[in-house]
Amino acid sequence: MGAFVIQGGKPLNGNVRVSSSKNAILPIISACLLTNEECHLNEIPGLDDVSYMCELVSYLGAKVEVDGKSRKISVKTPELTGNTADYELVSKLRASFLVMGSLLARSGRAKVALPGGCPIGSRPVDLHLKGFEAMGAVIENGHGYIEAVCPSGKLKGANIYLDFPSVGATENLIIAAVLAEGKTVIENAASEPEIVDLASFLTKMGANITGAGTDTIIIEGVERVYGTEHTIMPDRIEAGTLMTAAAVTCGDITLSNVVPEHIKPVTAKLRESGVEIIEYESEIRVRNNKRPVAVDIKTHPFPGFPTDMQAPLSAYLCFAEGASMIVETIFENRFMHVNELKRMGAQIRLDGRTAIIEGIEEMQGAQVRATDLRAGAALIIAGLAAKGTTEVLDIHHIDRGYEFIENKLQRLGADIRRVM
Ligand code: EPZ
């Protein structure tokens, strides 16, 4: 399953270009199923999750052409050849559930394996289903599959209030509403930048969407949508992860292909801990020369502190002066990195969804295991600053969401290598 071997203590210096966003491209690839015309997507990150989503839409009838050199893919679905996303595919990628909205909009029916849980939580999809039902779909849940059918053949616009501003439910329902009859209003919608990027792509396809990026999104259904071209937004979580790596190693790096607005909550926390951060139009410079000061973190939907940055920042705060309180409000089990960090000497106490981190001056390199994507990133961050050698195992989790992370870090001066 591969491992990263890291010699700690090397400050990161130099320039790095952030890849495009995993969490933006996955719903956009699903949305390509809405049209029989060709969609061209640029700046595609080389991630396992992107490959899985391309595999899924191909299975459903899309012709996917990947040009790795120019980092572009084209997706053209002359007709759907299936409307079932089977368990074998969905179990590899939870975000596969995002094809339900496209399949319902394009064909009036969808059968998608229930994604099931993952290390960070049970990951229910009840809010997605409640929205589809409001739009006229009849939902059956059996044998590990969700089957949805529109008796009239077409979804109808509806007023939907999300009990929780779920990112995935918001994305699935926007996609479904694009070709519905009439107007759909989604209230208490998620406002993450990835929602805005999806809406921007759909609008270029000919959809009629207003309010993306706010908690109320209005979609006026249209007869059909068309092929288009789109460049995926930068990955704000990769940006935050690299910023944190620079801070923990007392380095000085400049990140390009960044939207500073997208990562403000992380910038604010790093500044509060003593890091110097300079924001430019599409670049961020991170400079640090001292041990962090402890800060408290509470995760929230955007524009609050992003749950995906909780583990990476927790690793950084293990080195802080003082005690930090971390509260994870989004997922019920997102402290899998804690036990691994404790193997490196971290002083962390868990109480339900709260972690108290007593900072220490030095962590010890150790053999640790990535349990999920962001926990793996946290272990890399800890290893970059720990004394001695850290070996991070099961790095396939990390490859899902960080494109060639070891190459980016090597170019910044880190002593990290991938061993198979
Ligand atoms: C997206 O997951 C991201 N994944 C996650 O990133 C991210 O952590 C999460 O949003 C929150 O920002 C992708 O975009 C592919 P949610 P998603 O629906 O859509 C509950 C990463 O590391 N909920 O906003 O699954 C759910 O249990 C990944 O890149 C329901 O109760 O997140 C959770 O507690 C991890 N019912 C909370 O909402 C539902 O129907 C947030 O889930 C849906 C969600």
Whether residue 235 contacts residue 26, with contact meaning beta carbons closer than 8 Å, is answered with: no
- 177 phi/psi in degrees, rounded to 5: -75, -15
pLDDT value at residue 420:
84
Q: Is 373 in the pocket of ligand 1 (CB under 6 A)?
A: yes
pLDDT value at residue 68:
84
Whether residue 404 contacts residue 46, with contact meaning beta carbons closer than 8 Å, is answered with: yes
CA 88, CA 10: separation in Å to the nearest integer? 42
- Of 386, 376, 385, nearest to 2 (Cα)? 376
Please give the helix or strand (H or E) that residue 176 lies within, else none.
helix 167-177
Distance 290 CA to ligand 1 centre (A): 35
- Of 326, 273, 319, nearest to 299 (Cα)? 326
What's the number of CA atoms in the CB half-sphere (13 Å) around residue 125? 29
CA 104, CA 80: separation in Å to the nearest integer? 11
Q: Is 123 in the pocket of ligand 1 (CB under 6 A)?
A: yes
- Please report the atom of ligand 1 found closest to the CA of residue 194: 14
Residue type, 296: D
Q: Is 336 in the pocket of ligand 1 (CB under 6 A)?
A: no
- Of 348, 326, 231, nearest to 282 (Cα)? 231
CA 355, CA 149: separation in Å to the nearest integer? 44
Active site residues: 118
Question: pTM for this structure?
Answer: 0.97
Computed from CA positions of residues 146, 150, 154, 156, in that sequence, does the dihedral angle turn out positive or negative? negative
pLDDT value at residue 69:
87
Distance 162 CA to ligand 1 centre (A): 13
DSSP symbols for 224-291: -----EEEPPB-HHHHHHHHHHHHHTT-EEEEES--GGGGHHHHHHHHHTT-EEEE-SSEEEEE--SP
Q: Is 168 in the pocket of ligand 1 (CB under 6 A)?
A: yes
- Of 108, 201, 210, 101, nearest to 152 (Cα)? 108
The three-state secondary structure class of 401 is coil
Distance 123 CA to ligand 1 centre (A): 7
Nearest CA to ligand 1 atom 38: 166
Tens digits of pLDDT across the chain (420 residues):
799 999 999 999 999 999 999 999 999 999 999 999 999 999 999 999 999 999 999 999 999 999 988 899 999 999 999 889 988 888 889 999 999 999 999 999 999 998 876 778 888 899 999 999 999 999 999 899 999 999 999 999 999 999 999 999 999 999 999 999 999 999 999 999 999 999 999 999 999 999 999 999 999 999 999 999 999 999 999 999 999 999 999 999 999 999 999 999 999 999 999 999 999 999 999 999 999 999 999 999 999 999 999 999 999 999 999 999 999 999 999 999 999 999 999 999 999 999 999 999 999 999 999 999 999 999 999 999 999 999 999 999 999 999 999 999 999 999 999 998
Q: Is 374 in the pocket of ligand 1 (CB under 6 A)?
A: yes
- Of 40, 36, 62, nearest to 225 (Cα)? 36
- 252 phi/psi in degrees, rounded to 5: -150, 100
> From the CA atom positions of the chain, what is the Rg in Å?
21
pLDDT value at residue 115:
83
Q: Which two tokens stand for residue 231?
A: 């460049």
Scanning 60-145, the segments in alpha helix (DSSP H) are: 87-90, 99-107, 126-134
Q: Is 102 in the pocket of ligand 1 (CB under 6 A)?
A: no
Distance 325 CA to ligand 1 centre (A): 23
- Please report the atom of ligand 1 found closest to the CA of residue 130: 40
Q: Which two tokens stand for residue 321?
A: 């002066």
| C-alpha 212 chain-centroid distance | 18
Q: Which two tokens stand for residue 271?
A: 């500044």
Q: Angle, to 10 degrees, between the axis of helix 264-272 and the axis of helix 236-248?
A: 10
Q: Is 171 in the pocket of ligand 1 (CB under 6 A)?
A: no
Distance 163 CA to ligand 1 centre (A): 13
Query: Is the bond leading into 303 cis (omega within 30 degrees of zero)?
Result: yes
The three-state secondary structure class of 33 is helix
Q: Is 344 in the pocket of ligand 1 (CB under 6 A)?
A: no
Pocket test residue of 133, 164, 327 for ligand 1, highest count of atoms within 8 A of CB: 164
Indicate the burial class of 2 (C-beta count within 10 angstroms; 0-12, 13-18, 19 or more). middle
Nearest CA to ligand 1 atom 37: 330
